[in-house]
Amino acid sequence: MELNRNQYFFIGMVILLLGVQLRAVSHYVLTPEATRFLAERANKSGSESTLMNLSTDLGAAPRKVVKPPEWLGWCLMSVGGVLILHSLAMKKPGAG
């Protein structure tokens, strides 16, 4: 499948806005359900998983905090900008 100008522009905009979002927010706090989902799929030691199960049974729902690195937002904004500029340099769809 070959991507056309509009698709490059859309992908570039999504990546650019995702980079802006990562630059605007310092950290993300996951819900207890998302934290439990990640804990079940991660390879944890037995004592940590037992502690996680014990704390969720007692009602103290732990929440994972995700802190993306600062460079990730800049990287995504750069890649998005390059994709947008590339799309503007391409031929318009339907223009022979």
Number of domains in the chain: 2
pLDDT at residue 3 in the model: 87
Whether residues 38 and 22 share a domain: the answer is no
Task: Establish if 96 belongs to a structural domain.
Answer: no
Average pLDDT across the chain, whole number? 85
Q: What is the CA radius of gyration of the chain?
A: 20
The model's pLDDT over 35-70, given as tens digits with 9 standing for 90+, comes to 888 888 886 555 555 555 555 555 567 788 999 999
Please determine, for residue 29, whether its predicted confidence score (pLDDT) is greater than 90.
yes
Task: Outline where DSSP puts E strands in the chain.
Answer: 28-29, 65-66
The parent domain of residue 43 ranges over 28-66
Task: Establish if 95 belongs to a structural domain.
Answer: no
Task: Establish if 32 belongs to a structural domain.
Answer: yes
Tell me the percentage of the chain whose pLDDT exceeds 70. Answer: 80
Task: Establish if 42 belongs to a structural domain.
Answer: yes
Structure tokens at 26: 């310092």
